[in-house]
Homo-oligomer: A and B are copies of this chain.
Amino acid sequence: MKALILNCTLKKTPDRSHTEALVKSAVKEFKKLDVECELIRVVDFNILPGVDSDMGEGDDWPKIIKKIRECQIVVIGTPIWVGGESSMCQRIIERLDAMFYDKKLQDPNNGQYIFYNKVAGVVVTGNEDGAQAVHARLFMALNEFGATIPPNVGSYWVGEAGPGPSYIDGGQSSKYTQRITVLMVQNLVAMAKILEATPIQTNLSELNKLYLEE
């Protein structure tokens, strides 16, 4: 079983990323449950603006699509800037939008989008506010993309109102954040195993024939 963790920090490796510190604590839990993890920073790749599955020369997005195909669990990690997910996070949402019309991102047998029978969770860090709004936005997008959202898979840390320390300096001792992170990982793995044993069989191609192609 494999988990892909997409850290949408604005900071390239090896700069200090608060979100990376929190997703790394998730990685530790995944490993306890024998799940292989790949952790990447999206900003280290050249993800061109656009909404096609391949924007041409220099576009690294196809590399990430390949990684998504090969895992059963996807975790999106993002910092909060002025109450919203990062521009790198919105960039990957935009690029994933291609699955609604690009047949290469749909299962040839049943039309399911590439996140079908994968599970997804969201990890958010910020210094003051906005985590649940980001959870909401990403759960909606992931649901449209075909992912299953198991219970309690929104991990986060934010500090008190106003400017203040970020996660590494202010949040690592938070028992709440530790607990929700462990719970997220346990539920992601439990659900991924369930879906591996008994996948959702819905046939979207048939529905499309009935409703979209007349």
Binding site for B on A (CB under 8 A): 10-11, 43, 49-51, 81-88, 90-91, 93-94, 96-97, 100-101, 112-113, 115-116, 128-133, 135-137, 139-141, 143-154, 156-163, 171, 174-180, 182-183, 186-187, 190-191, 194-195, 197-198, 200-202, 204, 207-208, 210-212, 214
Whole-angstrom distance between the Cβ of A78 and the nearest chain B Cβ: 11
Chain B residues contacting A145 (CB-CB under 8 Å) are: 151
Known: A90-B81, A90-B85, A94-B10. A162 touches B143 (CB 8 A): no
By a CB distance below 8 angstroms, the chain B residues around A96 are: 82
User: Please, which residues of chain B bring their CB within 8 A of the CB of A204?
Assistant: 183
Q: Tell me if A208 and B194 are in contact (CB < 8 A).
A: no
Q: How many of these chains are in the complex? A: 4
Query: Given that A49-B88, A86-B90, A186-B202 are known contacts, is A179 also in contact with B212, CB under 8 Å in the complex?
Result: yes
A81 — which chain B residues lie within 8 A by C-beta?
51, 90, 93-94, 97
Given A10-B94, A160-B174, A194-B194, also A136-B83 (CB < 8 A): yes
State A207–B184 Cα separation when bound (angstroms).
11
